[in-house]
């Protein structure tokens, strides 16, 4: 349904805009005839975690995925899966 795809595309673009200017957090929104893809590439080694937490202050479980201001990868994968995301390791 193109109307539904329009809604998803707009919602994903609005989410993307929240991260504008956050270096090392790169988002691409791609749409074809049947899907909308929100693809995120994050370099956690260089990312300003304080700025990220300003953007995402109220994500449920967020405090559990960080330890000493570092992302705990295993916990992030579990959190992402619970949120319905599909993650690929590099």
Per-run averaged pLDDT (10 residues), the chain, 90 residues: 93 93 95 91 86 72 62 73 70
Provide the pLDDT for residue 56. 76
Provide the pLDDT for residue 59. 53
CB-count burial class (<10 Å; 0-12, 13-18, 19+) for 9: middle
Provide the pLDDT for residue 36. 93
Q: Rounded CA gap, 5 and 38, in Å?
A: 12
Nearest to 19 by CA among 58, 60, 48, 45: 48
pTM: 0.68
């Amino acid at each position: 349904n193109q109307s539904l795809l329009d809604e998803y595309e707009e919602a994903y673009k609005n989410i993307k805009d929240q991260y504008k200017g956050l270096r090392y957090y790169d988002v691409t929104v791609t749409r074809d005839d049947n899907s909308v893809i929100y693809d995120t590439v994050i370099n956690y080694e260089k990312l300003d975690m304080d700025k990220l937490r300003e953007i995402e202050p109220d994500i449920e479980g967020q405090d559990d995925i960080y330890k000493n201001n570092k992302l705990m990868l295993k916990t992030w994968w579990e959190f992402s899966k619970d949120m319905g995301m599909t993650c690929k390791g590099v």
